[in-house]
Amino acid sequence: MKAVNGGRGAGVEVRLEDLRRHYAGVSALNGLSLTLAPGELVALLGPSGCGKTTALRLVAGLEEANSGRVVFGGEDVTNLPANKREIGMVFQAYSLFPHMTAMQNVAFGLQLHKVGAAERRKRAADTLELVGLSAHANKFAHQLSGGQQQRVALARALAIQPKVLLLDEPLSALDAKVRSRLRDEIRRVQLEVGITTLFVTHDQEEALAIADRVGVMNAGRIEQLGPPVEVYSRPATPFVASFVGLTNRLAGMVRGGAVEVRGIRLPLVQPEAPEGPAVALVRPEAVTLTTDGQLASGPLVGIVIATAFLGATSRVTVDLGDVTVLAQLPTSEASALTAGTRVRLALRPDPVLIARDDAAAG
Amino acid sequence: MNRARRFRLGVFRVTVFLVMGAFFLIPIGAMVEFSTRGNSLTAPRTLQTWADIIKVPDLVQAITVSLELAAITSVGMLVLLLPTMVWVRLRLPGLTRIIEFICLLPLTVPAIALVVGMVPLYRWIKINVSDSILMLAFAYLVLVLPYTYRTLDAGLASIDLKTLSEAARSLGAGWGTVMLRVVVPNMSGAILNACLLSVALVLGEFTFANLLLYENLQVAILYQSFVSAGTSIAVAVAALLFAFVLLLILSFVGRPRARMARAEEA
């Protein structure tokens, strides 16, 4: 699909340097630094109010930073207004111009970039084809479904061959099925065009599925930046552990480089942690349940209180008396575990993270 | 809904329609009747007063002036109000209340008070700038503010201004392009309605022009009534018809896009 991104080829490096932004004394962004490699897709993930949208708007030029720099491919764009930055942006709200057809929407930016009429038509048609909407080129926004509108918005953003693609929760207004399809579509198009992309979302599944690297944000800064697998399986902070994926919080005792939880020793992510009481953060998929054998009362024997069917896997809630534990199991195993069943718990000895301060784990 | 109820509702509607129609049409009918009377009670009906319209001195000029004022006021209102309202909505939402208050203020001030307040200003303009009647457009701009503000505000509220303007900016549009190619086309209905209101208000305006000693259409009609009551009534009816036709034409010229979009939807 060279035609769409023309001569530009691979994307450019995008650098955010120590960006700070505060509103009326409340700080929204607290010194954010991030470098996106050419053609890379980085997702900023975090709860609402963590500063991820502010970061995106600073890169877009729709808001001004109080300090810090934004650099596209070596060029400092910090002081350029949004319309001079050569960005493509897809918004959370439907943003197609209602008085134009899909084709006219896509061609609008090209016209502003002084592309000739014939070339304009060709590139708009090519870009619509890239997102699979050639058949709907002459429809108005109100004649398109939500997913189609967002795809036209993506085509419109890409048609002007921007240096950076900025996606501001483009999927959150869509229903679940369309969402996952469009998510994969966005990734396919992004890889095809090779454009450097910053993607902002509060949906961890989305971020993990689509990104080359995920930056988990909290209170205006990035807590952890890394490939999805790393962020999920080796969370750097208790906040990341509890925000990305579900986490059981089990009381334990740190001793000799491991944490002892209900009689089981689990290795630590940071073995140098000081000894003493702590809370171990255990993933539901590290918890297994058995019903056979010795089921006399003990620290690891409990009663199933609920089973949630999630498709291929199920989530089982077990009451251990003093605490409830979530276990994620293949549905085939979980189907026997109806409410009231006595089960024995086992913990897979994956390295775990510990928290000492409840507030920090938010 | 049962038949009896539907019937009662139908009767009610027809009654309202007839009463309202009578309210508007009887005075106009009476004017037509009066303007076609002969010189005495027994004289036959005549269109002489209507034929005399063309002999009314300065009438054409008064009409021209009123139309010019209507056009200038409409354009001035849009140029002044629309960018201000867009800017306030996007950048200074805290000022919304103040702008609204200022725009609605002329509604609460009696016309005579406005004029008295404006007299010194107009005396100064007449002496130092120009004594053209078109200067009156500034006064009319104030007069139409409350009506047009409401209309444009409703139009702006009906579009996602923030997202649309940000989308256009990200595609390389400056603020002028955002206004002309994104905001205006998407609230053409509200803009047209605001213009219709301005035109209607300006064409029917008498107090400002008369008290500031200018001669627009309404003032010309008054002067004519001193000369010939019959002719002045004929002119008044003609002016009503003229305004009616003008507004009708404007509303049809301005609508094709909206109609097209609706047809597409169907």
What pLDDT, on the 0 to 100 scale, is given for residue B264?
A: 44
Q: Cβ A153–B172 below 8 Å, yes or no?
A: no
- Which residue positions in chain A have pLDDT lower than 50? 1-8, 358-362
Nearest chain A Cα to B164, which residue? A95
Residue A201's pLDDT is 93
Handedness of CA B21, B24, B26, B32 (dihedral sign): negative
CA angle A185, A190, A194 (to 5 degrees): 155
User: CA-to-CA distance for A98 and B251, rounded, in angstroms?
Assistant: 21
Partners of A112 on chain B (C-beta within 8 Å) are: 171-173, 177
Pick from A95, A157, A166: CB nearest B163: A95
Question: In three state form, how does the secondary structure of A214-233 look?
Answer: EEEEECCEEEEEECHHHHHH
CB–CB of B163 and A94 under 8 A? yes
How far apart are the CA of B251 and the nearest CA of chain A, in angstroms? 19
Say whether residue B166 is in contact with chain A using an 8 A CB cutoff.
yes
Closest CA–CA distance from residue B174 to any residue of chain A (Å): 6
Question: Which of B160, B164, B171 is closest, CB to CB, to A112?
Answer: B171
- State the count of interchain CB pairs (< 8 A) between A and B: 72
Q: Which positions ≥6 away from A238 have C-beta within 8 Å?
A: A281, A353, A354, A355, A357, A360, A361
Q: Which residues in chain B are closer than 8 Å to A62, comparing Cβ atoms?
A: 166, 169-170
Give the model's pLDDT for residue A1.
39
Q: Which of B169, B171, B186 sits opposite A99 (nearest CB)?
A: B186
The minimum CA-CA distance between A306 and chain B, rounded to whole Å, is 43
Q: Under CATH, which architecture does the B56-265 domain have? A: Orthogonal Bundle (1.10)
| Domains in chain A: ranges and CATH | 2-238 (3.40.50.300), 246-361 (2.40.50.100)
**pLDDT of amino acid B80:** 92
Please report the pLDDT score of residue A359 as a whole number. Answer: 38
* Per-residue confidence in pLDDT tens, chain B, 266 aa: 678 888 999 999 999 999 999 998 899 899 888 888 877 777 778 888 888 888 877 888 888 888 899 999 999 999 999 999 999 999 898 899 999 999 998 888 888 888 888 888 888 888 888 777 878 888 899 889 999 999 999 999 999 999 999 999 999 999 999 999 999 999 988 998 899 889 889 988 888 888 888 888 888 888 888 888 888 888 888 888 888 888 888 777 766 554 444 444 43
- Write down the pLDDT at residue A282: 87
The shortest C-alpha distance from A196 to chain B (Å) reads 16
What is d(CA B136, CA B149) in angstroms, rounded to the nearest whole number? 20
Give Cα separations from B130 to A247, B120, B135, B210, B212 (angstroms): 79, 14, 8, 18, 14
Please indicate whether, in this complex, the C-beta atoms of A98 and B177 are within 8 angstroms of each other. Answer: no
For CATH 1.10.3720.10, the residue range(s) in chain B are: 56-265
Query: Measuring CA to CA, which residue among A208, A201, A288, A289 is closest to residue A245?
Result: A208
Taking alpha carbons only, the member of A123, A168, A264, A214 closest to residue B162 is A168
List residues of A whose CB lies inside 8 A of any B CB: 60-62, 81-84, 86-89, 91, 93-99, 108-109, 112-113, 140, 142-143, 153, 156-157, 160, 166
**Helix orientation angle between A146-159 and A176-193, rounded to the nearest 10 degrees:** 20
The neighbour count for residue B63, using CB atoms within 10 Å, is: 18
pLDDT tens, A93-111?
A: 999 999 999 999 999 999 9
User: pTM of the prediction?
Assistant: 0.78
DSSP labels, B158-207: TS-HHHHHHHHHHTT--HHHIIIIIIHHHTHHHHHHHHHHHHHHHHT--H
**And the tokens for A48?**
């609402």
Q: Please compute Rg for chain B using Cα positions.
A: 23
CB-CB contact of B196 with B250 (8 Å): yes
Residue B260's pLDDT is 47
pLDDT at residue B257, as a whole number = 52
**Best to test chain B binding among A56, A62, A90, A108 (most B CBs inside 10 Å):** A108
The predicted pLDDT at position A37 comes to 92
